[in-house]
A and B are shown apart, each in its own frame.
Chain A
Amino acid sequence: GEDVEQSLFLSVREGDSSVINCTYTDSSSTYLYWYKQEPGAGLQLLTYIFSNMDMKQDQRLTVLLNKKDKHLSLRIADTQTGDSAIYFCAESKGAGSYQLTFGKGTKLSVIP
């Protein structure tokens, strides 16, 4: 199976919260990332979390990590139209590792 899985689409109304989910298979993953890709643009690092953390909050973004279930989520509070983008989950094996393994991306559409 895939190393990192995400649902492909999510649609929310402006002002609501968005929750984008990701599952991974490698229990040795030590860093987990969320990247944002706006149309026609590159990947912008949104946030990351170390595997020894359960939660990380940064303004409107909340990352939750359930290491037992290998489940990562990104919650965007008060979703705005500018949040419309593709969101990629990625895992890294940690120190000494070179490779990020990406999910296929979740396309978030925000309805005004």
Chain B
Amino acid sequence: DADVTQTPRNRITKTGKRIMLECSQTKGHDRMYWYRQDPGLGLRLIYYSFDVKDINKGEISDGYSVSRQAQAKFSLSLESAIPNQTALYFCATSAGGGETQYFGPGTRLLVL
């Protein structure tokens, strides 16, 4: 089984809808991250969490919120989806600062 899983893998939604992307990990890592990938732009950090009680904004947090429900679970919400949030979203985990990050398979989101 994969160490980092994301659900759903694909999602189509309409402008204005609220959606949640979920991430689970079995690596026992404290740190979890959400990135988005746009063609030609690489990956950009949305939010990160050092532990259950610690949530921090990344480079592009506007329009997103997160919840760290447990050490193993970190969800990303789009409160009111807009078309420019169409992207590939990745969750990642790491054991600590400076440690290697391990990525989930990604969620492909299309906002119509």
Contacts and interface: CB of A to CB of B under 8 A. Distances in A.
A104 interface: yes
Contact of A98 (B43, B56, B90): B56
Contact of B98 (A8, A31, A35, A43): A31
Interface string A18-57: 0000000000001101010000011111001000000000
Contacts of A43: 43, 90, 92, 103
B31 interface: yes
A94 B94 CA distance: 12
A97 interface: yes
Nearest to A48: B100
B41 to A, nearest CB: 6
A94 B96 CA distance: 10
A98 B106 contact: no
Interface in B44-65: 44-45, 48, 50, 56, 58
B48 A105 contact: no
A71 interface: no
Contacts of A77: none
Interface of B: 4, 31, 33, 40-45, 48, 50, 56, 58, 90, 92, 96-98, 100-106
